[in-house]
Amino acid sequence: MKRAHLDEMTRGWLVGDFEPSLYRTSDVEVAVQRRGRGERDPRHCHRIATEIVVVVSGRAVLNGEVFGPGDIAVAEPGEPMDLLALEDGTATVCVKIPGPRGDKYLLEDEAIPNDAGG
């Protein structure tokens, strides 16, 4: 049995084709991420991967819609995704299928507005 801590992972990413990783594979990427109010993930898309984001705690704006605990967003390949945490302690689980390297494309000109969702 391996033992690790989420704080040892880079931005919460724990499974995928990167280091550190608890299970190295390009088949999937998995992250558990915690954010404070106002922290954001920039608008981006993937050309190959489908991205699934589950809000575990707190509230966040994903693509202009407010999500709370238990809500799930799915972005298909080519579909933009962004996230803004509305509360301290907002936690998400993110899964990317598959998880090839270099499949994240920033869309900086379409960033979510600063006042989104409060």
Which residues fall within 8 angstroms of residue 2, CB to CB, at 6 or more apart? 22
Q: What is the pLDDT of residues 33-92, one digit of tens each?
A: 999 999 999 999 999 999 999 999 999 999 999 999 999 999 999 999 999 999 999 999
pTM across the whole model:
0.88
CB 38 within 8 A of CB 65: no
| Number of domains present in the structure of the chain | 1
Range of the domain at 82: 33-97
CATH code for position 42? 2.60.120.10
Residue 72 in any domain: the answer is yes
CB 65 within 8 A of CB 80: no
How many Å apart are CA 27 and CA 49, to the nearest integer?
A: 10
